[in-house]
Amino acid sequence: MKLLFFSHGKRANGGAERYLLDLIKGLKHLNPSWQIYVVFPQQDELWEMARPYLSGYAFIRQPWWLVRPAKKGWRKRLLFHLQKKKAIRHTRAYLRTVNPDIALTNTLATPVGAWAAQAENIEHIWLIHEIPELARNLTYLFDERRCLIQVDRLSQGIIVPSNFAKTYYQTHSSITPQKIAVLYQSVDIVPPTPVESKHPFTIGMLANFEPNKGQHIAIEALREVVKEYPDTHLLLIGGNNSRYAQKIKKTILDDGLESNITIVQHTSHPHDYLIQADVALVCSGFECFGRVIVEGLKCGLPVFVPDKPFGRELIQEGYNGFLYHRDNPQSLARKIIHLRQSQELATLKQNALKSVENRFSIPTFAQEFIVIINAMRP
């Protein structure tokens, strides 16, 4: 089997990029003879990490039809039309060189790979990790309905990373429902053994610093928690130098919480820090798949998550974590205080590990992918 993937990302810290990287690893482990190729937007971290598993690769910039809301306009649409012709031409040339059995686009952000595959009469499958309407950090450059009609028309099948995403696209779009399959991504981490030491009750939050991830919500909740439990500590893993990150740091100083909050800059070994916590916290407004929730559970931590579909898909209230109302940080604070007042933490930690036992492994991920694509092929 010869597969060619189209990647829109160049780094390896995004959910879609990690999905692709783990899938490539799993497929090569199960089927060493398979040939896997990837088109990257440019040479960077993802290319470096994927290269040992690839039979070949190319660097082709593919214009996006998903853009930041502030950039949507006629100039951006004109630029897209100007860039797509060159991108399709180069992509078609590479497709002819590789001649894959299947081409797969690992994002909703760009249709260039799908257009090129159709022109070369190559089977195409779409892996969709985004729901722009809910995430709100990206929007369609053109009419949403027409874009999704093209997604449907250009694909033998569509793979999404959660039941929540499947339900959304079956009920909110122009995609043929029967074409959609769910494939949970792997979260194949082996967290380090925590060092036994006396430390204050610690809430670990693993997320890139950006408004959707909601570090400001965590701080608002902590402000209430420390009124009853002054020793409570918040560990924020994933700091950066963005404007939002600077605002978060100022809020910490203004609220006098410097001794209660530690920020760890973006690191390639985040679980070395997360394992030091007693519980994990997710404050995202939206996740297509709650990878960070699974990461917390695999570290043996109960997870506090927003009471939203992506949270309810993985967390059972009072068993392996807690659900709270994201628009009400006091709701989160009350849940944390309740846990501190109870004797439930040890049981919740055991349940966290049980809930992900024998799940989300790379071999299982790859095996299920093969079953799905075989069912999708004519």
For the chain, state the CA radius of gyration: 22
- Using CB atoms within 10 Å of the CB of residue 302, give its burial: 0 to 12 exposed, 13 to 18 middle, 19+ buried: buried
Q: Residue 121 region, left (φ>0) first, then alpha (ψ -120 to 50), else beta?
A: left
- The amino acid that residue 349 corresponds to is K
- Determine contact, residues 220/252, Cβ cutoff 8 Å: no
Question: What are the angstrom distances between the C-alpha of 40 and each of 2, 16, 352?
Answer: 17, 13, 36
Distance CA 138, CA 115 (A): 21
**The model's pTM:** 0.88
**Tens-place pLDDT, residues 21-31:** 999 999 999 99
- Determine contact, residues 328/146, Cβ cutoff 8 Å: no
* Side-chain-facing half-sphere of 182: CA atoms under 13 Å: 13
**Tens-place pLDDT, residues 138-163:** 899 999 999 999 999 999 999 999 99
Q: Which residues contact 40 (CB under 8 A, 6 or more apart)?
A: 7, 10, 46, 47, 57, 58, 59, 60
Q: What is the pLDDT along the chain (378 residues), one digit of tens a residue?
A: 999 999 999 887 778 998 999 999 999 999 999 999 999 999 999 999 999 999 999 999 999 999 989 889 999 999 999 999 999 999 999 999 999 999 999 999 999 999 999 999 999 999 999 999 888 888 999 999 999 999 999 999 999 999 999 999 998 778 999 999 999 999 878 776 766 667 899 999 999 899 989 999 999 999 999 999 999 999 999 989 899 999 999 999 999 999 999 999 988 788 889 999 999 999 999 899 889 999 999 999 999 999 999 999 999 999 999 999 999 999 999 999 999 999 999 999 999 999 998 889 999 999 999 999 999 988
- Determine contact, residues 240/266, Cβ cutoff 8 Å: yes
How much is the pLDDT for 266? 82
DSSP-derived 3-state class of residue 261: strand
- Determine contact, residues 372/191, Cβ cutoff 8 Å: no
- The amino acid that residue 116 corresponds to is A
Element of type H or E holding 146: helix 144-153
Distance CA 218, CA 203 (A): 9
**Tens-place pLDDT, residues 243-280:** 999 999 999 999 999 999 999 998 878 888 999 999 99
